[in-house]
Amino acid sequence: MRCPSCGVVYTLDPPSEDEMDRYDKVNLKLKLGDSPSGLIGRLYYRVRTRMLRKKARIVESQAYRTGGSLLNYGAKTGFFSYKMEKRGWKVTSVEKYHEERLFSLEMFHHRMIDVPEMDALHAGTFDVITMWHVFEHCHNPNQLLDRFYELLRPGGILVMACPNICSTDAMYYGPYWAAYDVPRHLWHFNPGSLSALAYKHGFTLMHHEKMPFDSFYISILSEKHLRHRMPFIRGMYHGFRSWRISLTKRGRSSSLVYVFRKRQETE
């Protein structure tokens, strides 16, 4: 459904937050770093290594610093948190699932906190807050944005990546577009609707850029949803088409990284 006032698309009558656990844990084995199985699994692991470097560069270039205090919300298994720690950042990671927090502790010796523990964090603590394909899962986006505004220092930035429902691959695959990911994805944004939502909570969009590999991954999964023969080959073809269009039309990218700056109350 689409909200007539703000333009945000949302999943109607989703499972409750407790019921959502059984959907979120479907891909837990892949996220926990087990040996990749199948072509898509191997592709996922190869791309992740490259994207960790890209994410780090985005954060540091947009924050105008190579160190500071960073909150990684929805940190999953901690690969990005560990990457930023190695680059000299002081990282606080928030993750709701015990299995992923345990993996991070055993793999990286990085302790994460559970979501309720965020209440103990002090206002004005962080230079940067990141969410990588997490915001679309959140049951309470308005409250979360308000909390992030409190936690950021003056001039701090909020960096988030989300699928783009105006992308070339979204329009091509329609209801079979894998990034709708119903019912796990509760919200479905385009650049305009996400920017407008963030602005209401004190954030101004400063920058956005495409995530270059998502069109391939999502197109392959979409072909599998359609049960087409040779889903990898067909997905690579349509993913390349989407990626090529995004070179000149950024707003048609499969996923986008948004960088928002915390506005001062006088602005």
How far apart are alpha carbons 192 and 7 in whole angstroms?
Answer: 8
pLDDT of residue 23: 79
pLDDT of residue 31: 54
pLDDT of residue 51: 93
Residue 234 lies in a domain: no
Mean pLDDT across the stretch 185-207? 96
Mean pLDDT of the chain: 92
pLDDT tens per residue, range 14-44: 999 888 887 776 555 545 555 556 666 677 7
| CATH classification of the domain holding 49 | 3.40.50.150
Residue 97 lies in a domain: yes
pLDDT of residue 38: 66
Instruction: Please give the tally of structural domains in the chain.
Output: 1
pLDDT tens per residue, range 101-135: 999 999 999 999 999 999 999 999 999 999 999 99
129-138, 206-215, 257-266: lowest mean pLDDT where?
A: 257-266
Bridge partner residues of 260 (DSSP): 158, 205
Residue 19 lies in a domain: yes
Residue 218 lies in a domain: no
- pLDDT at residue 188 greater than cutoff 70: yes
pLDDT of residue 33: 52
pLDDT of residue 266: 57
Mean pLDDT across the stretch 86-106? 95
CA-wise closest residue to 87 among 128, 141, 36: 128
Angle 178-181-187 (CA atoms, 0-180°, nearest 5)? 120
Mean pLDDT across the stretch 86-90? 97
Residue 7 lies in a domain: no
Amino acid identity at 187: W
6-15, 76-85, 143-152, 218-227: lowest mean pLDDT where?
A: 6-15
Residue 223 lies in a domain: no
184 burial level (CB within 10 Å; 0-12, 13-18, 19+): middle
Q: Is the dihedral of CA 149, 154, 155, 159 positive or negative?
A: negative
SS3 66: coil
pLDDT of residue 170: 97
Residues in the chain: 267
Entry pTM: 0.92
6-15, 55-64, 150-159, 237-246: lowest mean pLDDT where?
A: 6-15
Higher pLDDT, 45 or 122: 122
Residue 53 lies in a domain: yes
* Owning domain of residue 48: 12-166+176-213+251-262
Helices (H), the chain: 21-24, 28-31, 38-63, 79-86, 98-108, 141-151, 168-173, 191-200, 214-225, 231-246
Residue 220 lies in a domain: no
How far apart are alpha carbons 116 and 95 in whole angstroms?
Answer: 10
Mean pLDDT across the stretch 139-149? 97
